[in-house]
């Protein structure tokens, strides 16, 4: 009897303890950001421009003593962190969709910082430089062209020695901005691709194998005879992988280089900079190119942020789109063309704090 009572009391004590622990949840935990120094900025998002940003922010720190902590957790994560207002800025490879913008607590501005590109790489004997067109790439990834000596490929490459080797398609298995850019391009050049699978960071792939990350796709392509895949330009260049020249809208076969990627952005850019430049109209532009963006709230006085902090955030981004551009090319990122910088300036000048422009 006595032990029973004791057990009951003990249990009650435990439950009370648990409830009191739960009650703690309701106390507003001071976010680290709120107590952080105004000279310390945090950002999170895209992994693709991470080497560029980390070099930039390091240089900026040397120059201004402002410390930037950037977490490359992926574009999706960056958008979520910005929406939760836990970071000063987010970063994304693809512009935010209308739905994402609608689900955000306040209007968000996109500022382009540099350009990236996807290349089509392959593993065929002799490693010839292939010339491919958008519709052929689409049909290969749809699983409709299955042999390397298919008439549509040989027609574009009359001099290359192509055998009846089977084509193994390799795509990304993880959600990725790289896949977004690639599928965005294919959606524009192939009506069938546009209906299905469409464009997105992850797709319902009709054919092929999935591998994780650029390194996964590159590794799988290198290992598998007859494989074809897509990786970021930087990754392909660093690993000296064969890259196909792609036929752009103007009918020119363009090799992916920093110059041809920058050239792809020589098009009319809308005021909010949310633009897809795949399948570019630019004559010498490489067709699978894309901007990568930093994201900030258009109104910076939220969650009791100090004006100094808002100013520091905006100044950093301004520097990134101007002086910072010199660090892009050495790291194999394509710098912004003049037109894009002009748009970025306009967007940055429109960001306000308490109704007043910050810059």
Among 68, 79, 91, 246, binds another protein (CB under 8 A): 79
Among 73, 136, 145, 328, binds another protein (CB under 8 A): 73
**Which of 84/166 has CB closer to another protein?**
166
Output the smallest distance, CB 152 to another protein, in A.
21
**Which of 107/143 has CB closer to another protein?**
143
Q: Is 106 in the site for another protein (CB under 8 A)?
A: no
Measured on CA atoms in the order 188, 189, 195, 197, is the torsion positive or negative? negative
Q: Which of residues 5-44 bind another protein (CB under 8 A)?
A: 6, 10, 13-14, 18
Residue from 247, 238, 234 nearest 334 by CA = 234
Q: How far is CA 347 from CA 21, 56, 60, 90, 305, in A?
A: 46, 20, 21, 16, 20
∠ CA(338), CA(201), CA(199), 5° rounding? 80
**Which of 293/318 has CB closer to another protein?**
293
Distance between CA atoms of 228 and 218, rounded to whole angstroms? Answer: 9
Decide: helix, strand or coil at residue 82: helix
**Torsion angle, alpha carbons of 277, 280, 283, 287, to 10:** 90
Among 74, 90, 95, 229, binds another protein (CB under 8 A): 74
**Which of 188/199 has CB closer to another protein?**
199
Which region among 24-32, 69-77, 294-302, 343-351 touches another protein (by CB under 8 A)? Answer: 69-77
Distance between CA atoms of 233 and 332, rounded to whole angstroms? Answer: 8
Output the smallest distance, CB 197 to another protein, in A.
6
**Which of 220/269 has CB closer to another protein?**
220
**Which of 165/267 has CB closer to another protein?**
165
Among 205, 235, 286, 333, binds another protein (CB under 8 A): 205
Q: Which of residues 163-202 bind another protein (CB under 8 A)?
A: 166, 168, 173-177, 197-202
Distance between CA atoms of 52 and 50, rounded to whole angstroms? Answer: 5
Helices (H), the chain: 2-24, 32-35, 50-64, 75-83, 98-102, 134-141, 151-156, 177-189, 191-195, 213-223, 233-238, 258-264, 307-321, 338-350
Q: Are strands 289-297 and 89-92 parallel, antiparallel or unpaired?
A: antiparallel
Output the smallest distance, CB 179 to another protein, in A.
9
Q: Which of residues 81-100 bind another protein (CB under 8 A)?
A: 97, 99-100
Distance between CA atoms of 202 and 175, rounded to whole angstroms? Answer: 5
**Which of 227/336 has CB closer to another protein?**
227
Sequence-distant (≥ 6) Cβ neighbours of residue 212 within 8 angstroms: 172, 173, 174
Among 220, 254, 263, 295, binds another protein (CB under 8 A): 220
Question: Contact positions toward another protein, by CB under 8 A?
Answer: 6, 10, 13-14, 18, 73-77, 79-80, 97, 99-100, 103, 166, 168, 173-177, 197-205, 208-212, 216, 219-220, 223-224
């Amino acid at each position: 009897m006595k032990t029973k009572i004791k057990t009951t009391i003990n249990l009650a004590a435990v439950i009370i303890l648990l409830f009191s622990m739960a009650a703690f949840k309701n106390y507003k935990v001071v976010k680290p950001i709120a107590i952080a120094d105004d000279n310390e900025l945090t950002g999170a998002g895209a992994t693709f421009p991470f080497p560029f940003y980390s070099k930039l922010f390091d240089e900026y720190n040397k120059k201004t003593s402002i410390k930037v902590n950037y977490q490359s957790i992926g574009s999706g994560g960056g958008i979520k962190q910005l929406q939760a207002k836990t970071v000063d800025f987010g970063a994304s490879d693809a512009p935010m969709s209308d739905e994402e913008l609608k689900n955000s607590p306040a209007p968000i501005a996109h500022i382009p910082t540099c350009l990236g590109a996807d290349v089509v790489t392959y593993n065929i004997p002799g490693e010839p430089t292939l010339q491919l067109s958008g519709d052929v790439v689409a049909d290969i990834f749809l699983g409709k062209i299955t042999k390397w000596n298919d008439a549509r490929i040989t027609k574009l490459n009359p001099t290359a020695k192509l055998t009846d080797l089977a084509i193994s398609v390799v795509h990304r298995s993880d959600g990725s901005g790289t896949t977004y850019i690639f599928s965005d391009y294919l959606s524009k050049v192939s009506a069938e691709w546009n209906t299905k699978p469409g464009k997105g960071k992850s797709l319902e792939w009709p054919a092929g194998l999935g591998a994780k990350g650029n390194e996964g796709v590159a590794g799988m392509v290198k290992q598998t005879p007859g494989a074809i895949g897509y990786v970021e330009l930087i990754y392909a260049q660093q690993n000296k992988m064969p890259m196909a020249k792609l036929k752009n809208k103007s009918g020119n076969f363009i090799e992916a280089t920093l110059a041809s990627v920058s050239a792809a952005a020589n098009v009319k850019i809308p005021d909010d900079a949310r633009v897809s430049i795949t399948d570019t109209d630019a004559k010498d532009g490489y067709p699978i190119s894309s901007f990568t963006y930093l994201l900030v709230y258009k109104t910076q006085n939220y969650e009791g942020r100090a004006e100094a902090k808002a100013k520091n955030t905006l100044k950093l981004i301004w520097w990134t789109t101007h002086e910072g551009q010199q660090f892009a090319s050495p790291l194999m990122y394509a710098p912004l063309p003049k037109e894009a910088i002009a748009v970025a300036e306009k967007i940055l000048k429109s960001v306000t704090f308490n109704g007043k422009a910050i810059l």
